[in-house]
Amino acid sequence: MVCLVNKILTKDYFLLYLGLALCLGFSCSACGKRGDPMPPSLVVAEKISDLSLVVKPGERYLSWSLPRKNSDNTKPVDLGAFKVKLKKVPKDLDSCRYCDEGFFDYLTINPFKPESGYQLGTSFYLPVPKIPKDFIYVFSVTSINSRGWHSEVSNKLALFALPEITPPSRVELIPSASIVDLSWQAPVLPADFSGELYFRVYRRQPEVQEQRRWRLITPEAISDTNFIDVGLNDWHSYEYVITAVAKIEKSLIESSYSEIAHITPGDYTPPAQLENFSAFYYEAGIQLIWNPSGAADLAGYNVYRRDDISGLEQIIAVLTPEQSEFFDINQVGGRTYYYRVTAFDSSDRKNESDSTPEIAVKMQ
């Protein structure tokens, strides 16, 4: 009896093991299996697809985003290193610029402790090597996981040799209310330069702690040699520098900074000189008349007087914009008085116009 039971159990266990083996060995809907899992060694970082050139004053960098997930959409990213590959293509043999042949290992980078380049935010930056004049350098990047497996190759980026360019010169600034008008002289380029030339404008406020670093205020490089910066704070100090950017196809290089130009924006423009000013004796006083100022920001008029004995001049009246005449009754008979009038605006500086010609009037 015991032997019979053992045989039955042994047979049942054999059938159970056989069923499990078949379920594990073959794809079957009964097991709920959808496909083979990817071997851990093949899980690599996602492909880098935004390899690009970043130019900064006097410097050029290869740049790409750090991978955010693995090739199977899992996280965290298994990232051990970056492999940068390079192909040197003579300009006269440029038919294979983007083909896969000819690349060699240029640099392997530990992204966590790089010996070359640096990580900033979610991107990595690698200095571009000096490129010989008659060559095109083509770069690509792959990621390497902790087991040494490579990701797919990134997009390819071709860079040209570009001449070193000097920064713009003769930077001039003209201030007005909340505005600075900038102009500069473009650098002289080599005679054989066949690319395009652009400019970038940088600004900072040395008196403001969080704005002491140069800030690019022309995200899109401009081709003109002038720029109007608006929305500034009047009577605050600003500094500007300009750089030149040379471009051939997608390859760019940026000059170093120009000399620093300093300015304080604000309304420096006074009203125009008053016209048709006259002064004459009238009924025991002196009557002053002039044409009203047409300044849009007119705040009023200053009336000046001096006498022939003391020679001292003083403001005897400050008038509103509506008052374009004044009657002076505070004189001493027999003396001669000298009058002139100015207009002033509503700016913080109270810009004052040029004076009217001085008119002498003798009291009766």
pLDDT at 7: 42
pLDDT bucket at 306, cuts 50 / 70 / 90: very high
Q: Which CATH class is domain 40-160?
A: mainly beta
Tell me: domain 169-263, CATH 3.30.1280.10, correct? no
pLDDT bucket at 326, cuts 50 / 70 / 90: very high
| Topology at the third CATH level for domain 278-362 | Immunoglobulin-like (2.60.40)
Q: Where in the chain is the domain with CATH 2.60.40.10?
A: 40-160, 169-263, 278-362
Per the CB < 8 A criterion, the answer to whether 247 and 195 are in contact is: yes
CA distance 297 to 294: 9
Q: Is pLDDT of 21 > 80? A: no
71 token code pair: 């090739």
165 token code pair: 């360019």
CA distance 111 to 119: 7
pLDDT at 208: 83
Q: Rg of the chain's alpha carbons, rounded to an integer?
A: 40
351 token code pair: 């810009």
Percent of the chain with pLDDT over 90: 72
pLDDT in tens, 169-182: 999 999 998 999 99
In this prediction the pTM is 0.68
Q: Is pLDDT of 111 > 50? A: yes
Q: Is pLDDT of 24 > 80? A: no
Name which of 188, 161, 166 is nearest 242 in CA terms.
Answer: 166
On the question of a cis peptide bond just before residue 206, with omega within 30 degrees of 0, the verdict is no
